[in-house]
Amino acid sequence: MDNFDWKIISALQLDGRLTNQEVGEKVGLSASQCSRRRTALEKAGIIQGYSARVNGQAIGLQVLAYVHINLHSHDPKSMRHFQHILDGESAIQEVLMVSGEADYLLKIIAANLQQLADFISHTLLASEVISHVKSFVVLKKTETDQSASDTASLRGAGLRARSFTLSSQLLRLIRRRVSGHHLLVGDARGSRSLR
């Protein structure tokens, strides 16, 4: 990847709807050169897709929360049960296996606090495989231009991997084995097993 590729990625992260002509004007390339590079970035898996950011409050989803989850055990049966919980709940936007105090961090979106409380009480705390739940309700979200800073920091760190997400707006469903455990990441469509 060269400087033009990084510029193309930055431009598309700020506005994924840009035409090749518009991207070319921003980065100093012709539309055809930009098209070839963009296609190559897509084929290499560096650009994994394009998405729309939806304002949850505008569609009646007023509460955003992050929930720490600890499991009693990470044996295969417990992991399948936990996966079943994740598969059955559309409120879960993202699931991350993390280091530190929690085993997993869930990003949850709900219509109101009661819906969030019901999910935590009747689904998470009622599960036999979950040992501890700790929730954090987002009081205010500070808007940042995360995509541009993501690209700059990736480039600055010299990272050249092909199959990771370059932007928080490009969340993709991933499942990898990590030391015998599964790393589950979901998006707005929910979490599901990938084999």
pLDDT in tens, the chain (195 residues): 899 999 999 999 888 999 999 999 999 999 999 999 999 999 999 999 888 777 777 777 789 999 999 999 999 999 999 999 998 888 898 999 999 999 999 999 999 999 999 999 999 999 999 999 999 999 988 876 555 555 555 555 444 332 333 333 323 322 333 333 333 333 343 433 333
The edge-to-edge listing of strands for the beta sheet with 130-137 is: 92-97, 104-110, 63-71, 130-137
CA distances from 88 to 47, 77, 85, 123, 189 (A): 29, 17, 5, 10, 11
Q: Is 193 within a domain? A: no
Q: What is the pLDDT of residue 41?
A: 94
- Domain shared by 30 and 122, yes or no: no
Q: Domain containing 118: what range?
A: 56-141+172-185
Asked if 178 and 104 sit in the same domain, the reply is: yes
Q: Is residue 127 part of a domain?
A: yes
Report the pLDDT value the prediction gives residue 52, as an integer from 0 to 100. Answer: 77
Both tokens of residue 166?
A: 């370059």
What is the number of domains present in the chain?
Answer: 2
Q: Say if CB 183 and CB 94 are below 8 A apart.
A: no
CATH number, domain containing residue 118 = 3.30.70.920
In Å, how far from its chain's centre is CA 181?
19
Report the run of H or E that residue 19 belongs to, with start and end.
none
Residues 101 and 177 in one domain: yes
In CATH, what number is assigned to the domain containing residue 39? 1.10.10.10
Give pTM, 2 decimals.
Answer: 0.59
On whether both 95 and 7 belong to a single domain, the answer is no
**Between 31-43 and 20-27, two packed helices, what is the crossing angle to 10 degrees?**
100
**For the chain, what's the residue count?**
195
Residue 139 bridge partners (DSSP)? none
Query: Does one domain contain both 119 and 179?
Result: yes
What are 58-104's pLDDT values in tens digits?
777 789 999 999 999 999 999 999 999 998 888 898 999 999 999 99
Claim to verify: residue 37 and residue 19 sit in the same structural domain: yes
Inter-residue contact 166 to 13 (CB < 8 Å): yes
Return the axis-axis angle of helices 20-27 and 3-14, rounded to nearest 10°: 120
Are 86 and 132 within one domain? yes
